[in-house]
Amino acid sequence: MMRCHRFRYESPATLREACARMTDAGGEAMLLAGGTDLVPNMKRRQQVPPTIISLRRIPELRETRITDGRIWIGAMTTLASLTTNPDVRNRHPALFKAAAQVATPHLRNMGTLGGNLCLDTRCNYYDQNYEWRKAINFCMKKEGEICWVAPGSPRCWAVSSTDTAPALMALGAQVEVAGVDGERCLPVSELYREDGIEYLSKKRDEILTRVLLPVPVAGEFSTYWKLRRRGSFDFPVLSVAAWIRRDGDGIVEAARLVLGSIASRPLLAPASSILVGSALSEEVIQAVAEEASSLARPLDNTDFSLGWRKKSAHHLIQGALRELRGDNPRELGPIARRAAELVPVF
């Protein structure tokens, strides 16, 4: 049995206290939300913080409300409760579909939105137990010198595997982070860095407190498509989140397309210039898929073969856009149909 290392456990009752304790720990402490990622990582000695600061006793981090024309979702909201929230389910299908496809029902009952957004990056050479990693002399992300995926590279290429981040980026959401000096908001897209080790832009002692979602207006549609080995549960190896706003004649007025699990951060695809002004014709969808899938340059550090994952990007992008056009996703070919069928029915 793998056990956690010895650590100090603190459980503050207020956000202010939690911020103060994080700062006092000088960047050495780690936050515990649902623990579904952190605890297994501690058992495998990927993360060995001397102090754990739990967020579980802070009620304000669980609040969800609509204020100033935005939906505020507390970082400690579980993924399970996110999927049963009618505001999320009916108004933001991309977020609903992303949260509903994270892991398994048990893990969604424990796992939180904040923890999902701050999820550690993943790699086949890193997500192994201590003995396995020691046998290859570790790697740059933890205790080693080189990257086994790209040995000449000065950086780590571990992959961002969060499901909700691409969806929130496509929806134009913001996050609020808090520290001893107060709170600040930033777009979800600015929370991430293209670096497998330092993958978050926030300071180490800052706490993600809320996600702020705009309340959608008429004509907005969104979706989230995920590729993974097992439909029952698995991390994404590729994901596509798409959002559009159409006018009364069906012409696209604004659009965002985000690809997940292909880099150390979710990537905003250069699609809006082609989509805006179009009626989502087949030619436009093909052109967007061609342009956006060129971003997918997967490395050999997750599941499936490289070539197949790259080809799948094209199919997933097309499927997501056709769904937004109003096509039935179950009639869109094998890969697209499989992605659509993976969304659990409640």
Binding site for ligand FAD (CB under 6 A): 30-38, 40, 55, 75, 79, 102-103, 107, 110-112, 114-116, 118-120, 161-163, 207-208, 233-235
- Residue 200: name the closest of 119, 258, 144 by CA: 119
Instruction: Tell which one of 53, 140, 320, 339 touches ligand SF4 (CB under 6 A).
Output: 140
Closer residue to ligand FAD, CB minimum distance, 150 or 197: 197
With b for 16 or more beta-carbon neighbours within 10 A and e for fewer, the 282-314 pattern comes to eebbeebbebbbebbebbebbbeeeeebbebbb
Interacting partner of 34 out of ligand SF4, ligand FAD, none (Cβ under 5 to 8 A depending on kind): ligand FAD
Closer residue to ligand SF4, CB minimum distance, 161 or 301: 301
Query: What is the rounded CA–CA span in Å between residue 93 and residue 97?
Result: 6
Interacting partner of 183 out of ligand SF4, ligand FAD, none (Cβ under 5 to 8 A depending on kind): none
- DSSP codes, 98-122: HHHTSS-HHHHHH-BHHHHHTPPPB
Query: Does residue 196 touch ligand SF4 according to CB under 6 A?
Result: yes
Closer residue to ligand SF4, CB minimum distance, 24 or 300: 300
Query: What is the rounded CA–CA span in Å between residue 5 and residue 320?
Result: 43
What is the closest distance, in whole angstroms, from the C-beta atom of residue 133 to ligand SF4 in the complex? 9
- Residue 241: name the closest of 218, 219, 217, 269 by CA: 269
What is the closest distance, in whole angstroms, from the C-beta atom of residue 107 to ligand FAD in the complex? 5
Query: Does residue 199 touch ligand SF4 according to CB under 6 A?
Result: no
Instruction: Tell which one of 147, 213, 263, 292 touches ligand SF4 (CB under 6 A).
Output: 147
Interacting partner of 148 out of ligand FAD, ligand SF4, none (Cβ under 5 to 8 A depending on kind): ligand SF4
Query: Does residue 149 touch ligand SF4 according to CB under 6 A?
Result: yes
In sign, the C-alpha dihedral spanning 117, 123, 126, 128 is positive
CA distances from 45 to 54, 337, 346 (A): 19, 39, 37
How many CB atoms lie under 10 A from the CB of residue 199? 21
Binding site for ligand SF4 (CB under 6 A): 123, 125-126, 139-141, 147-149, 156-158, 196, 301
